[in-house]
Amino acid sequence: MRNSLLQAIARNPWASAQDGFLAVSVLAVGLLLAIEFDLLQYGYEMTGHERHITLMEAIALTALLAICISAFVARRLSEEHREFSMRDERDDVMRELRDQATRDELTGLANRRAMLAALKELCAAETAGHHAFFLMDLNGFKRVNDGYGHAAGDSVLTVIAERLRRVARPSDLLARFGGDEFAVLAYDVDQAGAEAVGQRFIAALDSEIQVEGVAHRIGVSIGGVLVPDDCGSVQQILAKADVAMYRAKATKRSALVFYCSLDEQSNAFSA
């Protein structure tokens, strides 16, 4: 109870000061009554003939004083508990709303908003490090929507999201960018490590996806950029990853293309 009271005082110093003032006032009144009626020497009063209050009256006043102080403390703790509970409920609601704002409803992955925020934070960070960003577009997904309906398409996307989640590293941020596009931010990887990460995502979609008894073969085209080697801003990251992804899509099969490889090819051709 002592710790709860101290926490209550720390969280609401002004209200606690008011309660303290009232408590001190009650104590002062009690002390004046004790002095006036010599309650501290109630043993003498019990044998004297000229007393203003009886022993039972003194005990009753003391009990009343204790009740008043306890009531102040209990009220403050009760208010604090109620406010703390309401604050927890508000915090839970706010966390849920924030989570909904950054979470893709269909797949449960992070959404475009969350990925853009992570990229912005990464570009603004002053700490050194090498990272990779992958933009992925599914091959053959349009046939699922057109031939079997959007419900089947949603089921396929859910399976794909789970496969990508299983092969992603714990530190990777995996997001559904919208439609049949996904994105991954892989932290602390060099080019060789980024190549390995990207190939895992391709391998995750090698096998057919079974939905309602129908097998669908879905591939993926991945465009990758190295951060900060290839780009230094969010706009550059997205634009260069998009260029690399469309180059991968031109192969007509699952492929991983890095923007830096396109730069090397361009330099070779110009030479």
Concatenated DSSP letters of 200-222: HHHHHTSS-EEETTEEE--EEEE
Count of other CB atoms within 10 angstroms of residue 150: 11
For the annotated catalytic residues, the residue numbers are 180
Token pair 């879905």 in the structure block, residue? 218
Instruction: Please report the pLDDT score of residue 152 as a whole number.
Output: 93
User: 248: helix, coil or strand?
Assistant: helix
Instruction: Please report the pLDDT score of residue 5 as a whole number.
Output: 54
Give per-residue pLDDT as tens, 92-116. Answer: 556 665 666 789 999 999 999 999 9
Of 232, 226, 148, 129, give the one whose Cα is nearest residue 185.
226
Contacts of 219 (CB under 8 A, 6+ apart): 138, 139, 140, 205, 253, 254
Of 90, 81, 69, 72, give the one whose Cα is nearest residue 7.
81
Instruction: Please report the pLDDT score of residue 240 as a whole number.
Output: 95
Give per-residue pLDDT as tens, 29-65. Answer: 767 766 666 655 654 554 455 555 566 766 777 777 7
- What mean pLDDT do residues 257-271 have? 57
Instruction: Please report the pLDDT score of residue 47 as a whole number.
Output: 47
Question: Band of the pLDDT at 140, cuts 50, 70, 90?
Answer: very high
Between CA 179 and CA 162 the distance in angstroms is: 16
Between CA 122 and CA 117 the distance in angstroms is: 9
Between CA 79 and CA 58 the distance in angstroms is: 32
Angle at 117 between CA 192 and CA 124, to 5 degrees: 70
Between CA 225 and CA 11 the distance in angstroms is: 48
Between CA 119 and CA 240 the distance in angstroms is: 14
Question: Band of the pLDDT at 231, cuts 50, 70, 90?
Answer: confident
| Radius of gyration in angstroms for the set of CA atoms belonging to the chain, rounded to a whole number | 35
Task: Give the chain's mean pLDDT.
Answer: 80
Residue 110 phi, psi (nearest 5)? -60, 155
Question: Band of the pLDDT at 228, cuts 50, 70, 90?
Answer: confident
